[in-house]
A and B are shown apart, each in its own frame.
Chain A
């Protein structure tokens, strides 16, 4: 059956409004992509087509190293927070309400707090600990910060799945001789997997996009792409950054199109 809208399709005026919103959302992205092919390094005057910035990008050690840092911290933080978050969502689900409520309150703190407050607070913790333990702010502290702000998203995306899971299924598995962890692996995990995958994607996206928290927790030894771009905004952003962002944007777009096509063909097969 074709899924329908609210009651009737929107009017022409309504559609025009949505199109204008999309123009607003995509205007700067369009500008960024167009100027990644600009022959001069001006950010507003077009002076001919070139692929120079794409070639120079791969030779730029500074930009590439902060790109690798971003990828490394996002992948590691997403993996770690997904594992910890999924396990603790299961744990929390089996906890008494009196325990669960305060823990979920703490879980919500990084979600509702302004990023800058989260970043500053962790910065204070790390700087204060430096008086007792010998370490420097760098990739390690950056990773800790990213895992910390990612876990709440994973928990929030796994928990609804646990609630919709039929508790009888777990009991049946136990009665048929499964150990508790065997039942989790064979019965629960397959059921809650979409929530876990969703949580991992959200965590990865949050890490890639983060600037503020990284800025306060990475010290001077590690630098993510956002931090590099921020440092550049004080003078001039190199068009190589436009080129890199265009490549990232196109890859995400391609990935989404592929997922969409695959889902469609799966539906057709069924």
Chain B
């Protein structure tokens, strides 16, 4: 019966291997394979096939008609990202200099609007920017001529900046707030003027936050389809509208829609790749 212990031990280690902690990730791996990887495989298949199932690159050739839409989407997304950065960086920087209590309150105040439905907030901008809207009536009361903003690209940019500004402020703020105070003091002690402290210490150290913010604003801005519809009036469509039309709209053509989605996915990945190379590390953490 000396063997018994060994047999038992072998059984136990086999059981341990089966129930190893790694197994905790098994359901997740299966889930992600089924609902993240498989859908992308379908997008690729649809993008490269014709209606009869034969291989084709015709769907990509057809996209040539929409060069204008691509250009407009990228242009508006770039402007929005630049405006978000121009407003968001100073805001994050100023915020990081406030006392701890003010900082915490401000972070909550910046996140709170996200709890109001974003379609509704965008819709509220219509009441503000309309021809006879609240802004123009306010300007009228001050004796200033009314502005024609609604249904112009400017309105779309305002909508994008409004919706995505928190995604720029928060990552930059969280990086600046974590900067070691002694580095700033050391720079000042060693004779750096406030401007030099900023350009040589704070700005380089906040770069990961900036990159994360730029990505988090640019990707949704280039792919939005609601903001352009509501504030742009739907006259000049963007990439998101174009994709939506291929799947749910009158122009039903999922193969063309898949091809456009695939191109967009590749562009986003390339964009992310350069952003990550630029300011190595910190990605996953800064996203939250």
Which A residues fall within an 8 A CB radius of B? 2-10, 14-15, 17-18, 21-22, 24-29, 31-32, 35, 43-44, 84-85, 87-88, 90-95, 99, 103-104, 106-118, 120-125, 127-128, 144-145, 147-148, 151, 153, 155-157, 159-160, 180-181, 184, 202, 205, 208-209, 211-212, 215-216, 225-226, 229-230, 233, 237, 241-242, 245, 248-249, 252-253, 256
Contact = CB atoms under 8 A, between A and B. Distances in A.
B239 to A, nearest CB: 8
- Chain B interface bracket (under 10, 10 to 19, 20 to 34, 35 or more): 35 or more
Contacts of B23: 91
B100 A124 contact: no
Contact of A32 (B98, B124, B261): B124
B112 A252 contact: yes
5 A-B pairs with least C-beta separation = A91-B25, A3-B100, A91-B24, A88-B28, A114-B223
Given A9-B97, A9-B98, A109-B36, A230 B226 contact: yes
Contact of B20 (A32, A87, A92, A94): A94
Contacts of A153: 288
Nearest to B165: A25
5 contacts: A88-B27, A111-B287, A116-B240, A124-B43, A242-B120
State the majority secondary structure of interface residues on B: helix
B285 interface: yes
A12 to B, nearest CB: 11
Given A91-B25, A229-B117, A44 B130 contact: yes
Interface string B262-274: 0011001100100
Interface in B64-112: 87, 90-91, 93-100, 103, 106, 108-110, 112
A252 B115 contact: yes
B108 A85 contact: no
Contacts of B166: 25
Contacts of B27: 84, 87-88
Contacts of A124: 39, 42-43, 46, 254, 258
A165 to B, nearest CB: 13
Interface stretch (B2-10, B52-60, B139-147, B243-251): B243-251
B151 interface: no
Interface of B: 16, 19-29, 31-33, 35-40, 42-43, 46, 87, 90-91, 93-100, 103, 106, 108-110, 112-128, 130, 132-134, 162, 165-166, 169, 176-177, 179, 181, 184-185, 188, 202, 215, 219-220, 222-223, 225-226, 229-230, 240, 243-244, 247-248, 254, 257-258, 261, 264-265, 268-269, 272, 283-285, 287-288
Contact of A128 (B42, B96, B98): B42
Contacts of A156: 284-285, 287-288
A59 B149 CA distance: 37
A216 B269 CA distance: 22
A116 B43 contact: no
B288 A18 contact: no
A253 to B, nearest CB: 7
Contacts of A88: 24-25, 27-29
B22 A95 contact: yes
B132 A44 contact: yes
Contacts of A106: 32-33, 36-37
B36 A237 contact: no
Contacts of A180: 16, 19, 21
A211 B288 contact: no
Nearest to A237: B123
A241 B117 CA distance: 10
A125 B24 contact: no
Nearest to B87: A21
B98 A256 contact: no
Contact of B284 (A27, A108, A202): A108
Given A94-B21, A95-B25, A120-B257, A208 B115 contact: yes
A109 B33 CA distance: 12
Contacts of A92: 25
Given A120-B243, A256-B108, A112 B219 contact: yes
Residue among B106, B120, B166 with max Cβ neighbours from chain A (10 Å): B120
